[in-house]
Chains A and B, each alone.
Chain A
Amino acid sequence: MEKFDLIVIGAGPGGYPAAIRAAQLGASVAIVEREVPGGTCLNWGCIPTKTLIASAEFADQFRHAETLGFKAAAPQIDYPALIRRKNEVVAQLSGGVASLLKANGVKWFHGTASFLTRNQINVANGSINTVLEAAHTIIATGSTSTMPGFLPRHSRVVESRSFLDLTRLPASVIILGGGVIGCEFACLLARLGVQVTLVEMLSDILLILDEDVRRELRQVFEKKLKIRILTGAPLTDITASDEGVSGKAGDQTVSAELMLVAIGRRPVTAELNLAGIGIQTTPAGHIPVDAQGRTRAATVFAVGDVNGGPQFAHAATRQGVIIAENLFAKSRTAFDSLVPSCIFTDPEVGCVGLTEAQAKEQNRAIKVGKFTFAHLGKALASGHPGGFVKWIADAATDRLLGAQAVGSHATELIAEATLAIRGEYTAQELGRTIHSHPTLSEAWMEAAHALHGTCVHAPPRRS
């Protein structure tokens, strides 16, 4: 039986960085994966969708070429070519992960892992079973799209992973679910010329965001991208046939060629035999962990989507690295609570830390500083004057607590805000930091000034 200091189950963004960091620290490490290196993020999530979104963005710019001063015919979309490009990008990155693991001496086992005991793991690959022994184990098995039973089982009803394998773009689509995944797909498809209907049961789409950000988004979704958004009622009477799919949302009838289901993801734990090692999952199926990722079983840890924390690749990666360092560098770091979120819609959204709504819920005294891109030179020059950034700061100490950006490059812009909040900067100091001109990041500086009513480039705020 082969023995390791650490076995990582799952080679996604939570698992492979943990394996590599542990190997860097001198541990003997095995990684078990039943599919391909990179997990959902790299193969069927973040990376493939962003590849397609880049193409869609280009098509969209093309469509509005005359506003930038040139004439161009409407773009012809070659969807199979888009998918080919996506597959190339994914293959390159996945191969990169495989070679990084190899270069760091992490041993690869292909198959499905299940616990025999806390320290013994069976890897089933077809009919071949291999038993490995580990001092420590990190579960990084991730999550998969939810397809509840009320949905018809039909080839025209798909979730995000199988959608990405389609080689033909439908003319129209119903997207079920107004969360991050649903909205990203809605914008992607709308920009590729697909007629999109978005159905969300809750009162609004993207409820994690503050109301002003949502308003800005809906404005663009509905006016520019012509996405039909139906909120506040579940989709009922769903039928699927070879002609298409249809249903009812409240008193509205919806129909399309295809339905894309994006109503959430559930953790993957079924084959692990968690009960056998004394780990009870939550009703939602997550593995409960403490602030350092420890499960009820002393030598077993869990990172990423499977532990019920923030469902982001970057959160999982940081958690995996923290556990590797806690184990093999003898540190005692807790998981970070500050996790930025990025939404690759049109316009993009970046969000980190406290929102205005949360501050209100906590009855916390805050100050808000906002700056719209319409007042910013670079935003106008580059033809993206929509959106704004805003800071949320503690009213008493001026400490930056949260930030949201909506507009062009918002997902890049949020990094500065994350750094400033983690470093516990005050709005005053952020405002005093010189930001190069003309750039979009100047908006943060201006918004920090606006928070104190000292913004030069915006009219005085009406009280």
Chain B
Amino acid sequence: MVNAIIMPKLNQSEDDCIIVKWRVKPGDKVKKNEILFEIETEKAVLEVESFYDGTLLKIVVPEGVATPVNATVAWVGEPGEKVPDVAPPPPAAAAPIPAPVAPAATKTQTAAAAPVAAVAVTAPVPFPSAAAPAPARRQAVSPRARALARNSAVSTDSIRGTGPGGRVVEKDVRAYLDSKGYGQLRITPAAKALALREKVDILTVRGTGDSGRIMTGDIERSLRERPRALSKMRQIIAQRLTQSVVTAPHFFVTVPVDMTDLLKFRHVLKTRGAPFSVTDFVLESVALSLVEFPAMNSSTDGKTARWHSAVHLGMATSLEDGLVVPVIRNAQDLSLAELHAAVVALAGKARDGKLLPDEMTGSTFTVSNMGMLNIENFTAIINPGESGILAVSSTVQTPVVRDGRIVVREVMKITLSSDHRLIDGAVAARFVNAIKSKLEDINLWKSLT
């Protein structure tokens, strides 16, 4: 029997996905649980498995086309079976069409998440198309003009056409080349060959050879300077953080935390075989403080405010080219040891690109620790939907006045960013001082360890 393979719905916020790679081709035998294709969602590249044994009869949706969820992307059945005549779904952000498929197909599974993932979200956000804006109009160019421009390694974009309807004709290209001094342009044969191959407009390249001659190195430099598409992850980061900055009025409160005693105690713990990190202490202090200040553990859409009963702590984690925010669920219920274990496990998964979508969503408050990066202080941008984020900086030996005397202490600055729609200055000040006093209260840590 012929079964439809459909585009799975992986996330409430997503209406369409792109198949980035088909792992099988028509005629291939496929097994249940065998990976059929990879899709790119807003957060991750995921592998999609087959739920059927059989032969891949037809691919309906090719690679690279945005396809609504639940649409049929391929058919699996017995060799020679006739495939229902279903047109491929209209691509891109069209409204999702009802799935013309058997209910069984909804069981299509997702496999382990591949590396990419980005800033966690709690509320669905409209996401603009990643594609560049369409050119304003298609320029009409005669074939002869196009060939001349191509062989001269120039672009026709800025040539004004004088042909019928503004069409660019050969004469226009010649006039353009003359006006730009193309005849005087000096370029080495190899540089021209490279420019032709890579479609570099040599009128835009500055030559560094003898008497300004354009050399291969100049073309290579211009290639390196070409705009490159942001990775999906960076696009998400750009979109989310811009949205946060634009919609949430941020304000910042900084306090210095005296870590001297806690660091000493940490050393003691370490010798006892309990290797807690500064991050662990900070996260524990934040979790405890959030319970005391439920307003800081809330979210808003600008009209309503919602307090969360559980503390789901996001920890911003940097990757090679981007960042992810794995989430420690119900942090308020975890012992320090359990918290430590969760941090280690999630950080490892983040590094290896093994985080599942669930592990990257649903945080209610986020901590960004740049302590290991040797900085005095910084401010973080709130993860969209949350009411605050805590920026943790490096611990630095600092002269501090104590009992009228200057002493050297280990000082770590923490800066709270708050969404002023929900949080006022006084609350932020009390909250950040609640964290500070916990970190400085050595008896608290003795009781927690």
From B190, B194, B197, A400 is in contact (CB under 8 Å) with: B190
Write out the residue numbers on chain B whose beta carbons fall within 8 Å of the beta carbon of A429: 189
Judge if A463 is at the interface, Cβ distance under 8 Å.
Answer: no
Within 8 A of A (CB), among B175-196: 188-191, 193-194
CB of A393, distance to nearest CB on chain B (Å): 9
Chain A residues within 8 Å of B216, by CB: 397, 399, 424
Minimum CB distance partner of B195 in chain A: A397
Query: In the complex the two chains form, is A424's CB within 8 Å of B189's CB?
Result: yes
Q: Please tell me the number of chain B residues within 8 Å of chain A, measured between CB atoms.
A: 9
Confirm or deny: A394 has a beta carbon within 8 angstroms of a beta carbon on chain B.
yes
Q: Are A424 and B197 in contact (CB under 8 A)?
A: no
A426 touches B197 (CB 8 A): no
Question: Could you tell me the distance in whole angstroms from the C-beta of B213 to the nearest C-beta in chain A?
Answer: 9
Interface string of A322-335 (1 = CB under 8 A from B): 00000000000000
Q: How far is the CA of A424 from the CA of B188 in the complex (A)?
A: 6
In the bound assembly, the distance between CA atoms of A394 and B190 in angstroms comes to 9
Please name the residue on chain B nearest to A394 by beta carbon.
Answer: B190
Complex interface: chain A residues within 8 A of B191 (CB): 424
**Binary interface profile of A, 157-194, with partner B (CB < 8 Å = 1, else 0)?**
00000000000000000000000000000000000000
Give, as a whole number of angstroms, the nearest-CB distance from B228 to chain A: 19
The minimal Cβ–Cβ distance linking B200 to chain A, given in whole angstroms, is 12
| Shortest CB distance A49–B (Å) | 33
Q: Mark A415-441, 1 if CB is under 8 A from B, else 0.
A: 000000001111001000000000000
Is B188 a contact of A397 with CB atoms below 8 Å?
no
Q: Does B311 contact A (CB under 8 A)?
A: no
B118 within 8 A of A: no
Minimum CB–CB distance for A369 against chain B, Å: 15
Question: Which residues in window 30-51 of A have CB below 8 A to B?
Answer: none
CA–CA, A425 to B193, complex, Å?
Answer: 10
Contacts of A398 in B (CB 8 A): 190, 193
The answer to the question of B360 belonging to the interface, with a C-beta cut-off of 8 Å to chain A, is no
Complex CA–CA separation, A401 to B215 (angstroms):
13
Distance in angstroms from B224 CB to nearest chain A CB is 16
Cβ of A423 and Cβ of B188 under 8 Å apart?
Answer: yes
Looking at B188, B197, B215, the one whose CB has the most chain A CB atoms below 10 A away is B188
Q: What is the CA–CA distance of A425 and B215 in the complex, to the nearest angstrom?
A: 10
Q: How far is the CA of A93 from the CA of B357 in the complex (A)?
A: 80
A388-421 interface (Cβ within 8 A of B): 394, 396-400
Q: Least Cβ distance of A394 to chain B in Å?
A: 7
For A426, list chain B residues within 8 Å (CB). Answer: 189-190, 193
Q: Chain B residues with Cβ under 8 A from A424's Cβ?
A: 188-191, 215-216
Q: Which residues of A contact B190 (CB under 8 A)?
A: 394, 397-400, 424-426
**CB-nearest residue of chain A relative to B220?**
A397
Query: Hey, which chain B residues are within 8 Å of A394, CB to CB?
Result: 190
Q: How far is the CB of B267 from chain A (nearest CB, A)?
A: 43
Q: Which of A397, A400, A425 has the most chain B CB atoms closer than 10 A to its own CB?
A: A397
Q: Quick one: closest B residue to A420, CB to CB? A: B189
Note all chain B residues with C-beta closer than 8 A to A400: 190
Evaluate contact between A397 and B197: CB separation under 8 angstroms: yes
Shortest beta-carbon distance, A348 to chain B, in Å?
Answer: 28
Assembly CA distance A399 to B197 (angstroms): 13
Q: Which of B194, B197, B215 has the most CB of A within 10 A?
A: B194
Chain A, residue nearest B188 (CB): A424
Least CB distance from B276 to A in Å reads 46
Give Cα distance in the complex from A9 to B193, angstroms.
Answer: 45
Cα A424 to Cα B186 with chains together (Å): 12
The minimal Cβ–Cβ distance linking A99 to chain B, given in whole angstroms, is 31
Residue of A nearest to B190 (CB): A399
Nearest CB of B to A376, in Å? 25
* Bound: A278/B216 CA distance, A: 38
A425 to B216, CA, bound (A): 10
Interface centre among A423, A424, A425 (most CB of B within 10 A): A424
B residues less than 8 Å from A397 (CB atoms): 190, 193-194, 197, 216
Q: What are some 29 contacts across the A-B interface (CB < 8 A)?
A: A394-B190, A396-B197, A397-B190, A397-B193, A397-B194, A397-B197, A397-B216, A398-B190, A398-B193, A399-B189, A399-B190, A399-B193, A399-B194, A399-B216, A400-B190, A423-B188, A424-B188, A424-B189, A424-B190, A424-B191, A424-B215, A424-B216, A425-B188, A425-B189, A425-B190, A426-B189, A426-B190, A426-B193, A429-B189
- Besides the contacts A399-B193, A425-B188, what 5 more A-B pairs have beta carbons closer than 8 Å? A397-B190, A397-B194, A399-B190, A424-B215, A425-B189
Q: Which residues of A contact B (CB under 8 A)?
A: 394, 396-400, 423-426, 429
Query: Shortest 4 CB-CB distances between A and B: which pairs?
Result: A399-B190, A424-B188, A424-B190, A397-B194
